[in-house]
Amino acid sequence: MTQEDMMMKDMLIRTGNDDSIVGPASKFEAHTFSDETPRGAVHRAFSVFLFNSNNEMLITKRASTKITFPNVWTNACCSHPLYSQTPEEVDQNSPQDIASRSGKIESSGAKHAAIRKLDHELGVVPGSVPHSSFRFLTRFHYWASDTVTYGAEAPWGEHEIDYILFSRQQGDVPLTLNPEEVGEVMWVDQAKLRSMFEEKDLLWSPWFQGIMKLKGWEFWDNLDAIIEGKSEGCKDTEIHYFDPPEEFFARYNK
């Protein structure tokens, strides 16, 4: 399926700002930014942060053919849970749902979506990064216009409730890159990533920048506790909001 096909056929989970489900929306509809829809439509997403046994993080460069945010470096995999998938990818996490479960966030569907997309984008064989290896940490709510690609009148952007999933693998994870999705990959330690953030010629996704600034470095520092399920971050019911860096504000966002 081409990038254009997925824009029309993938049915995303549209939500309110509190993560209550509104219903389905095409990827095209959810990501269209304009004077009428200056922040598109809020929808569910997930971001996978994948680590090796040396606690190095896998970062990826989005392919140049991506419609939204091409050529930017970001975390291992960033995409959307969808309707009509097997296994089920739709989690029920309205405030009422969470209260009925004594504060527990559902994330099984987001993890199934992560497995599907790790296979699609990076050729990670399902089972080599199993469902049980993922640790759900928290949710971020952010938006960003793709002005870096399209300029001040950018027709595309992101507006997501983003489920953060960490996984650490003890052995090698063989990767077979899908060239329509990923251009390059790199395993980095904290010092390397910090130095890359300072390089002026590199582009970074707005969600990765925001996540790392707000909580990402802290999560990385506590990776052992997170993987062992002993981190309080794994029980976070708050949705953490951030605006994008200024360069991701389009004319209609100001």
Distance, in Å, from the CA atom of 214 to the CA atom of 135, rounded to the nearest integer, reads 18
Q: Is residue 232 over pLDDT 70? A: no
Residue 160 annotated in active site:
yes
Q: What pLDDT score was predicted for residue 70?
A: 98
The dihedrals phi and psi of 248, each to the nearest 5 degrees, come to -100, 15
Q: How confident is the model at residue 5 (pLDDT cuts 50, 70, 90)?
A: low
Q: Which residues pair with 185 in a beta bridge?
A: 60
Q: How confident is the model at residue 16 (pLDDT cuts 50, 70, 90)?
A: very high
Distance, in Å, from the CA atom of 92 to the CA atom of 41, rounded to the nearest integer, reads 18
* CB-based contacts of 216, cutoff 8 Å, min separation 6: 49, 208
Helices of type H across the chain:
3-9, 27-31, 95-100, 108-122, 147-150, 190-197, 206-211, 217-221, 223-227
Distance, in Å, from the CA atom of 3 to the CA atom of 68, rounded to the nearest integer, reads 10
pTM of the model: 0.96
Q: Which of 77, 78, 158, 234 is the catalytic position?
A: 78
Residue 246 annotated in active site:
no
Q: What pLDDT score was predicted for residue 64?
A: 98
Structural domains in the chain plus CATH codes: 3-253 (3.90.79.10)
Q: What pLDDT score was predicted for residue 235?
A: 73
Q: Which of 89, 158, 160, 181 is the catalytic position?
A: 160
Do 50 and 76 contact (CB within 8 A), yes or no? yes
Q: What pLDDT score was predicted for residue 67?
A: 96
Give the range among 18-32, 159-173, 187-201, 222-236 with minimum mean pLDDT.
222-236
CB atoms within 10 A of CB 89: 23
Dihedral sign (CA 136, 138, 142, 147): negative
pLDDT in tens, 152-165: 999 999 999 999 99
Q: Is residue 246 over pLDDT 80? A: yes
Q: What pLDDT score was predicted for residue 7?
A: 74
Mean pLDDT of the chain: 95
* 29 DSSP 8-state letter: H
Dihedral sign (CA 66, 137, 82, 113): positive
Q: How confident is the model at residue 2 (pLDDT cuts 50, 70, 90)?
A: low
| More confident: 254 or 58 | 58
Q: What pLDDT score was predicted for residue 4?
A: 72
Distance, in Å, from the CA atom of 221 to the CA atom of 87, rounded to the nearest integer, reads 32
Q: What pLDDT score was predicted for residue 3?
A: 73
pLDDT in tens, 168-212: 998 778 999 999 999 999 999 999 999 999 999 999 999 999 999
pLDDT in tens, 76-119: 999 999 999 999 999 999 999 999 999 999 999 999 999 999 99
